[in-house]
Amino acid sequence: MENLRIAVFPGSFDPITLGHESVIRRALPLFDKIIVAIGINADKRCMFPLQTRLAFIRERFKDEPKVEADSFSSLTVDYCRQNHIRFLLRGLRTAADFEFERIVGLSNKLLQPDLETVFLLTDNRYSFINSSVVRDVLSHGGNPEGFVSVPVLEMIRAYCAGTKKS
Ligand code: ADP
């Protein structure tokens, strides 16, 4: 277990976008397993419930045995320590991302020195995408095609149709 190269890709994934998917797929050759882990933040209001966000990720990567989805409510470093994980995966889109990641990465290093953060520069095609734009588009009745993958789009539509009925 300890010798496996397992990475955690933490985020809210509200919902998972083409940008997230691209980082995960590009990181696959680097790791034996990637856990896409949804950090539960009680202060953050999400559009999609936790189980729905996990279902989007699981459906999208159902044919990729190296990718798992999970959630955690502790510090990311504690989740990693408890699960014997030595790598964190993050994507870098912009200089603003870098400044944010620099602070988080150095803080995590102080909290757990043997945890390494691995950064991938994001694919230029997706670097403008973020989950909050997808939520904005959806909340105004727009079509987020091109921001999320087709299977995720279908699940979002099914979820939205279900919430309208109830
Ligand atoms: P969330 O939107 O899920 O809350 P974050 O913004 O915290 O996610 O991002 C989780 C990780 O996914 C971060 O490392 C971030 O850089 C990466 N990421 C987010 N959007 C994209 C994108 N469009 N392309 C590549 N990586 C992305």
Residues with active-site annotation: 20, 44, 93, 131
pLDDT at 2: 59
Prediction pTM value = 0.94
**Per-10-residue mean pLDDT for the chain, 166 residues long?**
88 98 98 98 90 98 98 97 97 94 97 97 94 96 95 95 76
For ligand 1, say whether the CB of 38 is within 6 Å of any of its atoms: no
Residue with the nearest Cα to atom 21 of ligand 1?
Answer: 19
- Residue 30 has φ and ψ, to the nearest 5°, of -85, -20
For ligand 1, say whether the CB of 53 is within 6 Å of any of its atoms: no
- Residue 146 has φ and ψ, to the nearest 5°, of 95, -15
- Name residue 12's beta-bridge partners: none
Name the amino acid, one letter, at 151.
P
pLDDT at 1: 56
pLDDT at 44: 85
Find the angle CA(26)-CA(31)-CA(32) to the nearest 5 degrees: 130
For ligand 1, say whether the CB of 83 is within 6 Å of any of its atoms: no
